[in-house]
Amino acid sequence: LWLTDTAKPPAGRGGLAAVPALAGLARAVLLTGLTAVLLGFGGTARAELDKALIQAGWSEFTFEDKLANRFARPDGHPDVIQIDTDNSVSIAYLPFTARPVNLKRTPYLTFSWRRLGPAVDTDLTQKGGDDRTLAVYVAFPYQPERASFKERLLRPFVEASEGADAPGRVLTYLWGGGQRRGRWFENPYTGSAGWMQILQVPSDPEQVWFSHQIDVRADFKDRFGYPPPNPSYIAIAADSDDTKSMFSAQVRTLGFSG
């Protein structure tokens, strides 16, 4: 399944499209693995997603009182998504409602990425000031039988604010700082409901494509201790609002394969 192929967007509202209006509630339940904890905030802002991506089923999650990134397909490059960030932060995401991913058949997440311009170097293991050059997120559905007591207790509030399809687990692959390459660490906003791994460090050169083939099924089992359900969403982002940076980055041939 190659996620740069054109497809109709799924009908109805997706989990990330339904941004919670109750910001205080969203912050109070971050440990449940909410959609909003991909970067740790909730809210709405002006979206910056080009028509080609919208037609392919992508949407954008934005953050209250934050400028949004610009996501676009460069002319003549239908397999590339470019992110332009300028003191801004937002996430482009693709629900798998219309085109499900079966991790037993296609467990490998494959993509190439590169940065165009300066890299940001912040500590992604800490809350606040955690800008990143690039991030790829894989979100998984909530499973009550796998949830902690706290997650089960708070789930009705999560679904009331974000919808029944708000994810329960998230794996994040990063181009950023705060840890050595290849090291896993807990998402500082989600705790054990989300894990993050540095694939590229800030000193890696610009204008160079770096390619990755990631066994998502194995990573999920290694991090969470049980086999994964099929993913609900994939998302990409850059983040420059804390460092007031400006740069572009690209992700190419994003998809799942066997």
What digits encode the pLDDT tens for the residues 49-87?
Answer: 999 999 999 999 888 889 999 999 999 999 999 999 999
**If you average pLDDT over residues 224-228, what whole number do you get?**
97
CATH architecture assignment, domain 23-257: Sandwich (2.60)
Structure tokens at 253: 């041939």
| pLDDT greater than 60 at residue 46 | no
**If you average pLDDT over residues 170-191, what whole number do you get?**
92
CA–CA distance, 195 with 187 (Å, rounded to integer): 5
CB 244 within 8 A of CB 89: no
Most confident of 9-13, 189-193, 231-235: 231-235
CB 106 within 8 A of CB 1: yes
pLDDT at 47: 57
What's the mean per-residue pLDDT of the chain?
Answer: 84
SS3 51: helix
pLDDT at 48: 83
**If you average pLDDT over residues 110-132, what whole number do you get?**
92
**If you average pLDDT over residues 204-219, what whole number do you get?**
98
β-partners of residue 257 are 108
Confidence of residue 211 (pLDDT cuts 50, 70, 90): very high
Confidence of residue 121 (pLDDT cuts 50, 70, 90): very high
pLDDT at 72: 97
| pLDDT greater than 70 at residue 218 | yes
| pLDDT greater than 50 at residue 224 | yes
CA–CA distance, 138 with 235 (Å, rounded to integer): 7
Most confident of 14-18, 28-32, 234-238: 234-238
> pTM of this prediction?
0.83
Q: Which residues contact 190 (CB under 8 A, 6 or more apart)?
A: 30, 31, 32, 33, 34, 37, 170
pLDDT at 220: 98
pLDDT at 251: 98
Domain spans in the chain, listed from the N-terminal domain onward: 23-257
pLDDT at 130: 87
